Amino acid sequence: MAIENVLMMNVVGGSQYEDAFARDIFFYNDIQLVEAMNEIDSGRFTLPIREENIGELIGFASLTSGGDIIDEKEYVDRVKMLSDLYNGELHFDMKRLSKLDYSLEEILDKIKKYEAFSDEKIGRLNTLKEEIAKVETSIQAYEYLKELDVPMADLDNLEYFTYRLGSVSKDNAARLKSIYNTVTSVVFHVGDNENEEVFLVISPQELQVETQRILKALGFKTIEGLDKSLTKVPSDILTDLHLRRVQLEKDIDNCTTDLENFCQENKNEANDLYNALTLYANITIMKKSMAFSKNNFYFSGWIPKKDRSKLEAIAKKYPGMIMIFSEDNGGVKPPTKLRNNWVFKPFETLVKMYGVPAHDELDPTPFLSVTYLFCFGYMFGDVGQGIVLLLAGLIAGKKGIELGHVLTRMACSSIVFGFVYGSVFGNETLLPTLWVRPFQSINVVLLTAVVVGVAMLLCAYAYSIINKLKIGDIKEGWFGPSGVAGLVLYLTLLGCVLCALGYVPGGKPFAGPLGILAVVLIFLVLFREPIANTIRHRKLYDTTAGDYYVEAGFGLFEMLLGMLSNTLSFIRVGAFALTHVGLFMAFETLAKMVGGGFGGIIVLLIGNILIIVLEGLIDFIQCLRLQFYELFSKYYTGDGNEFMPLNTELQKDTL
Amino acid sequence: MANSKYACVNTKIMAMRANSLKPEDFRAMIREPDINGVFSYLRENTYYAPFLTEVDTTHLHRQAIEIPLNRMRVYEIEKLMHYLNDTDKRLITTYLMESDIESLRLLIRGLARNADLSEIVPMMVYSEKYTTVPFDKLVKVHSWDEFKKALINTDYYRILEIFKTISIDEDLFPVEKSLERHYYDKLRRTIEKLPKKENKKLITTFRKGIDLLNLIWFYRGKRFYHLSREELLAYALQGGLRIKEEDIQKLTEVKTMDDFMRVVSAPKYEEYAFLFNHEKSIDLHMERRRERFLYFAFQSLFNSDDNGLSKVIAYIRMAEFEIADITSIIESKRYRMSAEETEEFLIRYFN
C-alpha cells in the first residue's frame, strides 16, 4: 500500500521529563505535531479514568498551552548570532548532533564567549564602518571647498556672517543665478553633482531669516559633512581626511582578520554549539505545541502506524508516562503519508500538483508513474535525445529541483522507446528497430496508443471503484458513471462497437444484444440514487426528484461524451510519436537544403535542441493532461492533507 | 499633410471629442433649479454617466460630482496612452503628474492639520496606472517624517526633504509652490524634447500659458502676499514665450502696484492685457480670464494643422475646462446665482 497508515499519539508525562522526551521525539522526527491544547479542548485527547491516572486527569483542569508560556527566542537569537558570525557557514547536521554530549548549562556557558566576541568585534566593525562613511561624506563636502584658500576656522568664526554649503536642482540653480546680484548674500558656485549644482552662500547674520526663506524657496539642501572641529584650510583638511580614511580601512582589515582568525580557531566548537542550540531551539518550538499542568506535560502528534513500537520504547524510558494511540482520532481527517519506492517517489510531486490523496484513498502515484513513463516514452522515443534529457534531469536533481528526478525517469523511458523505434537524435538508420518505425506504420502507432489508453482507462475505473467502495459509497461505487455500472457500460459499448464494425470475428450478431445491455446500464446509472437509497432503506432522493433528474440527465450526456472523448484522447500519444519523427524530418530536409556539410550539421543541431526543449515540454504537458483530465477525473479526489514531519517544519521555523 | 504617426490617436480624439458637452448642454444645466437637477442632467444626458452611477444622491455637494468627473478624465487620458509612445507618452505621463501633485497636496494639508489620511482617500484622483507615487503607503503614514520616507524613491523626496516640519503657517505655502514649480519644470523639459516643427503651435500655446501663470503670480505675490523680489523670482516659471529672463527681472523689481501695472501695459504684453484692463474685477476674474484665454487657444490648437500632439493635448485641456465649468455651474446653484451671472463665471463663452 502506498499510503501509510498513521496513528494519533497522545502522551502525558511528568514535567521533569519534558525536555528529554521532546529531544527523543526530535531525533525520531517522523511525526506531525498537533496542538495538544486543541486536542484536549475538543475532547479527543482523553485518558481512561483509573486511579493511577488521577493526577494526570486532575491536570486537565488547569492547563496552560505551551504557546502562551514558552519562547524560543533565547535560542533562536543565539543560533542567528552564530550563523551571522560565520556568514552562514555552519550547518545543521543530525549525525553530528547525535554525537554531542553538552548539557544546557555548558552550552549557555560556552556561548558567552562567542556572544562577547561578536558584540565586541562586530560592534567595533560597525562603528568603524560608520566612521568611514562619515569621513567619506566629509571628503565629499570639503572637495567642493578645496579651492578656498582660507582656514575653515576663519569662516566658522565670522562674527557678522554665516556660511552655508548646499545644492539646488539645475532648474533652481538658474533661478538662484538670476538673483545673484540683488540677493542679500554672496553666492559662489563651487561645483556640481549628478543633478544638482552646489553653492557656497555667505550671508549677514542679521538677515538670517530672509536668506533662509529664499534658500528654502529654492529647495536649497545643506550638504552634510562639514565639521567645526576641522579648522585648517580645506585642502589640508582633505589631506587629513584621506589619511584618516586609510587608517580606518586598515583598522577594518585588522578587525576583520581578528574575526576570521577567531572563527577559524573555534569553528569546530562553534559548529557543535550551533547544532546544540538549534536542537534546543527546536525542542522549545516543539514544546510550544504541548500543554502543561503543574506536574505533567501533554503532547499530541501523528505518527506512522509501523513506528508504534519505537515510540512505546521511548515512553518506557520515562516512569509513569502514558502513551495512547488512536486510529480514527474522533473523526478528524488524518494526514496522508505517502510511501513509494525510489522509482515512483519523484512522481509524488506531480500527484501533489493536483492534490494530496486522502488517507482512505488509493495512492495514484504508482499507476501515474507507470502510465506517465509509458506515454512520454511512446511520444518521445529517442536514444540520443533521451540521454540529453537524462543529463539535464541529473543536473537539475543535484541542484535540488524536484522535477529533475521526474525528468531522469522520463528520459530513461525515452531511451527505452528510442531502442524500440531505433531512433538516435532523429536518425533512424543507425539502430535497428525492435518494433516499428512510427512513420512507416502510422495506423499501428495510433491504434496501439488507443488500445493502451483503453487499458489505462480500465485501470482508472478499477481505482475509482475501489476508492468509492472503500468509503462505502454504494451509489457511485456500484452504479455511478465511474463505478461498476460505468465500467460495464464502457466495456459493453466498446464490445458493441467492435462487433458492429466487424473487428471481432463472428461478433456481428452480438452487437444488437450488447446495445440493449448498454441501454439498460445507462438507465441503471440514471436511476443510481433511488436504487442506492432503496438498498440503504433511505428516502428515494436526497434533493427533489426534479432536480436530481435534470442533473443526472446532463450527467449521462457528459458520461457518454466523456467515454468517447477520453478514449479518443489517447490518439494524441500516437500522434505525438509521429510529430516527433515529422519534426525531425522537417529539419533533415532543411539540412539538405542548405547543402549538407557544416551548415547541415548546424541545422540538425538546432533542430535537435528545438525538439528536445519544445517538444519535450509539450509532451510533458500532454502526458500530465492525460493523467489529470482523462484519468484523475475518474478516480481521484486528492483532498487530503499532507503529512508534515517534524524535521523540515522546525528547520524552516528556526532559520 | 497629416502625420500618419498620429492618425490613429487623432481619429480616437475626434470620436471622443464628439461626446463633449455642447453649448445646449451647458445652457440646460444652467437652467436647472438646483444641484440635483444638474446632477440628473449629467447622469442622463452626458458621457459622464458611467462614472456617476455610484454617487449618493441624498447629500449632493460639489465634490461628490466633481471627483467622479475627474476620475473619468483621468480614465480617458489613460485610454489615450495606448495610442502613443516614447516622448509623446512621456509628455502625457508628465501631464498626469498634475493629478499626483494635487493628491499629494491634499495629503500634505491633511498631515499639517493632523487629520486621518485615510479619510482623504475618496477625494484623491490620480492615475493608478501611471503614477509614480506610492499612495497606498502614503495614506497609512502618521507623521511628516514617515510621509517623506515613503516618497524616498520619487522626485518628490528631494523637494520635501528640506522641510523639517509641516506647519500650516510656515511650510504649506512653500511646499505647494515647490511642488507646482517642479511640475512645470518637468513639463517644460518634456515639451522641449518634442519635435519642434510638428508641434510649433502646441509649444507656443504652452509657453503663453507659462507667461500667464507668471504674470498672475507676480501680481498676486506683490498685491496680496507682499513677497520679496527674490521670493517672486524663486517661484517664477521658466520657458515663457514673451516673458523672458530680463522681463521677469523687470516685473519683479517694481516697487508699487502702479509701477507693476505700468510695466504690464507695455506693448510687449499687449496679448495679455485682458488680465488687467478692467476697472473693478481684476482680482475676481483673473483666473477665469487666464483659463478662457487658454480655452480659446486650445480650441484653435485643436482645429489647427499642427502635425504633432496638438489635438491630444488640446482635447485633454478642453476636457479639463469642461469639468471646471460644470463645477462652476454646481457652485452657482449654491449661491443661487442668475443665469447671466453664472455664465460670467464660466470659462467658455456663449454667443
DSSP assignment string, B150-215: HTTTSHHHHHHTT-S---TTTTHHHHHHHHHHHHHHHHHHHHHTS-TTTTHHHHHHHHHHHHHHHH
DSSP-assigned letter for residue A232 = S
Instruction: Give me chain A's average pLDDT, please.
Output: 88
A8 and A79, same domain (yes or no): yes
Chain B residues inside the 8 Å CB shell of A221: 158, 161-162
User: Which chain A residue has its CA at the smallest distance from B235's CA?
Assistant: A217
Chain A closest-CA separation from residue B34 CA (Å): 44
d(CA B108, CA B120): 10
d(CA B154, CA B131): 10
Does residue A310 lie in a domain region? yes
Using alpha carbons, select from A36, A541, A100 the residue that is nearest to residue A296: A36
Using alpha carbons, select from A455, A370, A379, A446 the residue that is nearest to residue A417: A379
Q: Do B230 and A214 touch (CB under 8 A)?
A: yes
Query: Could you tell me the pTM of the whole model?
Result: 0.60
Does residue A625 lie in a domain region? no
A17 and A74, same domain (yes or no): yes
Chain A residues inside the 8 Å CB shell of B230: 179, 182-183, 210, 214, 217
Categorize the per-residue pLDDT at A20 as very low, low, confident or very high, splitting at 50, 70 and 90.
confident
Contact status of A4 with chain B (Cβ, < 8 Å): no
The whole-number pLDDT of residue B3 equals 58
Contact status of A171 with chain B (Cβ, < 8 Å): yes
Q: What is the mean pLDDT of residues A154-182?
A: 87
The whole-number pLDDT of residue B136 equals 93
Q: Do B162 and A221 touch (CB under 8 A)?
A: yes
Contact status of A212 with chain B (Cβ, < 8 Å): no
User: Which chain B residue has its CA at the smallest distance from A173's CA?
Assistant: B234
Does residue A317 lie in a domain region? yes
Three-state SS for A424?
A: strand
The whole-number pLDDT of residue A622 equals 93
Q: Do B248 and A178 touch (CB under 8 A)?
A: yes
Amino acid letter for position B332: S
A224 and A275, same domain (yes or no): no
Q: Do B230 and A216 touch (CB under 8 A)?
A: no
Q: What is the mean pLDDT of residues A158-179?
A: 89
Of the residues A176, A201, A232, the one at which a domain ends: A232
Q: Domain residues for A502?
A: 473-569
Of the residues A310, A337, A364, the one at which a domain ends: A337
Query: What pLDDT, in 10s, does the model give residues B132-175?
Result: 999 999 999 999 999 999 999 999 999 999 999 999 888 899 99
Chain B residues inside the 8 Å CB shell of A183: 230
Q: What is the ipTM of this complex?
A: 0.85
Does residue A395 lie in a domain region? no
A215 and A293, same domain (yes or no): no
Chain A closest-CA separation from residue B159 CA (Å): 6
Beta bridge partner(s), residue A166: A199, A222
Does residue A594 lie in a domain region? no
Query: What pLDDT, in 10s, does the model give residues B91-121?
Result: 999 999 999 999 999 999 999 999 999 899 9
Exposed, middle or buried by CB within 10 Å (0-12, 13-18, 19+), for A456? buried
- The residue among A182, A193, A196 with the most chain B CBs within 10 A of its CB, best to mutate, is A182
pLDDT more than 70, % of chain A: 98
Chain B residues inside the 8 Å CB shell of A207: none
The whole-number pLDDT of residue B161 equals 93
**A276 against A621, higher pLDDT:** A621
Q: Do B238 and A217 touch (CB under 8 A)?
A: no
pLDDT at position A654 over 50: no
Contact status of A175 with chain B (Cβ, < 8 Å): yes
- Compute the C-alpha angle B39/B314/B340, nearest 5°: 45
A484 and A559, same domain (yes or no): yes
Does residue A452 lie in a domain region? no
Does residue A605 lie in a domain region? no
Query: What pLDDT, in 10s, does the model give residues A432-457?
Result: 989 888 888 999 999 999 999 999 99
The whole-number pLDDT of residue A329 equals 67
Q: Which of B234, B238, B249 sits opposite A214 (nearest CB)?
A: B234
The whole-number pLDDT of residue A53 equals 81
**A391 against A504, higher pLDDT:** A391
**A296 against A103, higher pLDDT:** A296
pLDDT more than 90, % of chain A: 42
Q: Do B238 and A172 touch (CB under 8 A)?
A: no
User: Which chain A residue has its CA at the smallest distance from B164's CA?
Assistant: A216
d(CA A427, CA A385): 11
Least confident of A209-213, A649-653, B56-60, B162-166: A649-653
The whole-number pLDDT of residue A3 equals 82
Beta bridge partner(s), residue A33: A301
**A38 against A620, higher pLDDT:** A620
pLDDT at position A648 over 50: no
The whole-number pLDDT of residue A86 equals 84
Exposed, middle or buried by CB within 10 Å (0-12, 13-18, 19+), for A421? buried
Three-state SS for A125?
A: helix
Of the residues A546, A569, A592, the one at which a domain ends: A569
Chain B residues inside the 8 Å CB shell of A178: 233, 245, 248-249
Amino acid letter for position B160: L
Q: What is the mean pLDDT of residues B216-238?
A: 90
- The residue among A168, A175, A193, A215 with the most chain B CBs within 10 A of its CB, best to mutate, is A175
- Give chain A's domain count: 3
Q: What is the mean pLDDT of residues A319-344?
A: 85
pLDDT at position A208 over 90: no
The whole-number pLDDT of residue B316 equals 94
Chain A closest-CA separation from residue B292 CA (Å): 29
Chain B residues inside the 8 Å CB shell of A187: none
- Cβ-proximal residues to A41 (8 Å cutoff; 6+ apart), any chain: none
Instruction: Give me chain B's average pLDDT, please.
Output: 91
Does residue A246 lie in a domain region? no
Q: Which of B158, B174, B233 sits opposite A175 (nearest CB)?
A: B233
Q: Do B230 and A169 touch (CB under 8 A)?
A: no
Query: What pLDDT, in 10s, does the model give residues B287-339?
Result: 899 999 999 999 999 998 777 889 999 999 999 999 999 999 999 998 999 99
Residues from B in contact with A at Cβ < 8 Å: 158-159, 161-163, 174, 177-178, 181, 185, 228-231, 233-236, 238, 245, 248-249, 253
A207 and A283, same domain (yes or no): no
Chain B residues inside the 8 Å CB shell of A174: 238
Categorize the per-residue pLDDT at A649 as very low, low, confident or very high, splitting at 50, 70 and 90.
very low
Look at strands A322-326 and A296-304 and give their pairing: unpaired
Categorize the per-residue pLDDT at A521 as very low, low, confident or very high, splitting at 50, 70 and 90.
very high
Q: Do B178 and A220 touch (CB under 8 A)?
A: no
A225 and A278, same domain (yes or no): no
Q: Do A179 and B230 touch (CB under 8 A)?
A: yes
- CATH number of the domain residue A159 falls in: 3.30.70.2750
Categorize the per-residue pLDDT at A653 as very low, low, confident or very high, splitting at 50, 70 and 90.
very low
Q: Which of A169, A175, A221 sits opposite B234 (nearest CB)?
A: A175
- Cβ-proximal residues to B78 (8 Å cutoff; 6+ apart), any chain: B127, B129, B130
Amino acid letter for position A277: L
| B25, B61, B69, B317 from B322: Cα distances, Å | 11, 18, 10, 9
Chain A closest-CA separation from residue B184 CA (Å): 11
Chain A residues inside the 8 Å CB shell of B161: 221
A484 and A561, same domain (yes or no): yes
The whole-number pLDDT of residue A647 equals 59
User: Which chain B residue has its CA at the smallest distance from A175's CA?
Assistant: B234
Chain B residues inside the 8 Å CB shell of A175: 233-234, 236, 238
User: Which chain A residue has its CA at the smallest distance from B160's CA?
Assistant: A219
The whole-number pLDDT of residue B110 equals 94
Three-state SS for A233?
A: coil
